[in-house]
Amino acid sequence: MKYLPSDTRYNIMKYNRCGKSGLMLPAISLGLWHNFGGIDALENARAMIYKAFDMGITHFDLANNYGPPPGSAEHTFGRILHGDLRSYRDELIISTKAGWDMWPGPYGNWGSRKYLIASLDQSLHRMGLDYVDIFYHHRPDPETPLEETLAALDYIVRSGKALYVGISQYNHEQTRNAARMLRKMGTPCLIHQPKYSMFERWIEKHLLDVLESEGIGSIVFSPLAQGMLTNKYLDGIPNGSRASKLGTYLPKEAITENKIGKVRQLQALAEHRGQSLAQMAIAWAGRHKQVTSVLIGASKPEQIEEIVNGIAKSDFTNDELEAIDDIAK
C-alpha cells in the first residue's frame, strides 16, 4: 500500500533555528548509523523513516561509512526516499559526512580535498541525490592543513553538491578556527555535531560558548548513550540490543553495575517527572539554547514514537538538574 505522510506531521515537533542561519531543524533528528545497513531488514528501516517523518522529524543524518557494510545505510536511505517519499524531498534535510576510513589506499580517509570531494560524489550516487542539505567533515585531521579541508567544504557548497556544511568532533579551538576560516571563504559553518549525554559532558566546558559566539548551531549525538539511558539494560542485556551485537561501539563491558546503578536512579527521577528515562534524557540533552537538535538512533518505530511524544515535557527545575548532575556526573 502506498505510504502517505500523516497530515498532522507538523503538529507535535518543535523546530529550532540552527545558529544564526536561516535553517530550522527539528528538535529531534534521526541518525542512520545502526539498523539501516545491508545486514538489516529493509522493511523495518522503511517503517522507522516513515514513523519519523509522520512525527515531524524532517532531518535524517547519514555518513559515508554507515552500514554495515560501509555505504549501505546511504543505499538503504536512497531506496526508501525514491519510493513513496520521492515527492517530499523539499520537506527533508539530508546530511552525510566523510572523515573516517572508507576505502583502501591513501585517498579514502581523513580530510584531504581529494577524499572529501570523491566521497561526497559516492554518497550522492548511493542515495540517488543531486545534493545533500548538509555535508560534514566527520572528524578533525591532525595532518591535513585545516585550510585544505575547509576549502574543500567551501568548494562543495559552491558546486551545488551541498547546501550547508558542518564539522563533527572538532574541539572548541578547532571549531573557532574553522568557523573563522569558513566565514572568510564566504561559506559559514552551519553546525557542529558533537557527542553529548548525561554521561558525556565535554561540550559543557568550552564548546557551547564557542558555538554561541560564532553563531553555529549544534546537533548532539548519542543522547541516550547508545541505549544505556533507557530502561533497556536494567535487567541484563536483551537479545537484539546494541550491546548484544558484535562489532558495535557499545561493548557488553560498558554496561557495568556502577552505570546501571546510576541509570536506576535516573529512571526514578524520570518517573517522578511523569516521563520515561529515554524521554527525560532527550529533553535534558536539548535544554541548551546552542543545541538545535538532538540526534537519536533507533531500532524500532515505537522507540521514535516514545521519544517524540516526550517533547511536550522538556523543562527542568534547578533541583532536577542538580539531582541529574549528582547522579550522572
- Residues within the interface to ligand NAP (CB under 6 A): 31-34, 61, 138, 168-169, 193, 221-227, 230, 232, 241-242, 278, 295-299, 303, 306-307
Q: Could you tell me which residues come within 8 angstroms of residue 90 by beta carbon, excluding any fewer than 6 positions away?
A: none
Nearest-5° angle of CA 161, CA 191, CA 165? 15
Nearer to ligand NAP, 1 or 237 (CB): 237
CB 114 within 8 A of CB 53: no
Compute the distance between CA of residue 217 and CA of residue 208 in angstroms, rounded to an integer: 9
What distance lies between CA 296 and its chain's CA centroid?
6
CB of 216 to ligand NAP, least distance (A): 15
Nearer to ligand NAP, 136 or 182 (CB): 136
CB of 160 to ligand NAP, least distance (A): 24
**How far, CA to CA in Å, does 255 sit from each of 218, 232, 236, 249?**
28, 11, 9, 12
Nearer to ligand NAP, 271 or 322 (CB): 271
Beta bridge partners, 166, equal: 136, 191
CB of 11 to ligand NAP, least distance (A): 20
Nearer to ligand NAP, 108 or 227 (CB): 227
CB of 185 to ligand NAP, least distance (A): 22
CB of 100 to ligand NAP, least distance (A): 8
Nearer to ligand NAP, 161 or 232 (CB): 232
206-238: b (≥16 Cβ within 10 Å) or e: ebbebbeebbbbbbbbbbbbbbbbbebbeeeee
Cell readout for 143 is: 595532518
